[in-house]
Amino acid sequence: MGVSQHRKRWMHRCLGLGAGVLLAAASSTAWAQVPVARGEVEDNASTQPANLTTAKLENSIGTRCALGEGVPQDYALAAQWFRKAAEHGYGKAEYNLGMQYYFGQGVPQDYAQAAYWWERAANQNISAAQYNLGNLYFMGQGVARDYQKASYWWQKAAANGNADATRNLAVLARMEPAVLHPGPVAGPVAASVAPQG
């Protein structure tokens, strides 16, 4: 596989450019989704402005390590840099680290850890993380199967313009009409799963 093909494949996985509707495809794998607005992922962070600059740089280094841009490709090193940025509360890095755990790139594959990091990013309004977290709840990967929580996260993603979340909600409404409601859902993943590192 050529460098540009490998780069595209990694970008599809780590930046959520892969597509596919989980329910429509009836797949056993959660699909990563494109953030609706590029800016939504770029500057969301639960950190101070000075730390945001550091976190963006750390995330950028992680991305270069994962892609092999200017450095030898190294998923383990990429995961270390994503973790540093995620620990600053940088939403994009939290999302990327979740992707690393979901696909087992540079870290052991761990759906519970993917859920933990995606929930942190989802709480910063990263629609791709909201969508992926909904998929995990729907499939029961790394979390207990819970259609209400899947609905909750898909509703948030749909509100941010994620068309696949909207389609998943329509399918879920046909499957389980009583599940769909806009109320809050108790029991966040973050409370039940501690980050590994």
DSSP string, 111-163: HHHHHHHHHHHHTTT-HHHHHHHHHHHHHTSSS---HHHHHHHHHHHHHTT-H
47 belongs to a structural domain: yes
pLDDT (0 to 100) of residue 51: 75
Average predicted confidence (pLDDT) for the chain: 77
105 belongs to a structural domain: yes
Least confident of 31-35, 109-113, 149-153: 31-35
Please report, to the nearest 10 degrees, the dihedral formed by the alpha carbons of residues 169, 172, 174, 180 taken in order.
-70
30 belongs to a structural domain: no
93 belongs to a structural domain: yes
pLDDT at 118 over 50: yes
Confidence band of 25 (pLDDT split at 50, 70, 90):
very low
193 belongs to a structural domain: no
Q: How many domains does the chain have?
A: 1
pTM over 0.85, yes/no: no
- Per residue in 45-100, pLDDT (tens digit) is 555 667 778 999 999 999 999 999 999 999 999 999 999 999 999 999 999 999 99
pLDDT at 28 over 70: no
pLDDT (0 to 100) of residue 179: 76
77 belongs to a structural domain: yes
120 belongs to a structural domain: yes
Structure tokens at 182: 């806009």
pLDDT (0 to 100) of residue 195: 62
Tell me if 189 sits within 8 A of 108, measured CB to CB: no
pLDDT (0 to 100) of residue 176: 86
140 belongs to a structural domain: yes
CB atoms within 10 A of CB 103: 17
What's the CATH code of the domain at 71? 1.25.40.10
pLDDT (0 to 100) of residue 37: 36
pLDDT (0 to 100) of residue 193: 54
Least confident of 37-46, 95-104, 107-116: 37-46
pLDDT (0 to 100) of residue 53: 85
Tell me if 118 sits within 8 A of 136, measured CB to CB: yes
Confidence band of 13 (pLDDT split at 50, 70, 90):
very low
> Domain limits at 138?
3-23+35-185
pLDDT (0 to 100) of residue 129: 97
pLDDT (0 to 100) of residue 186: 47
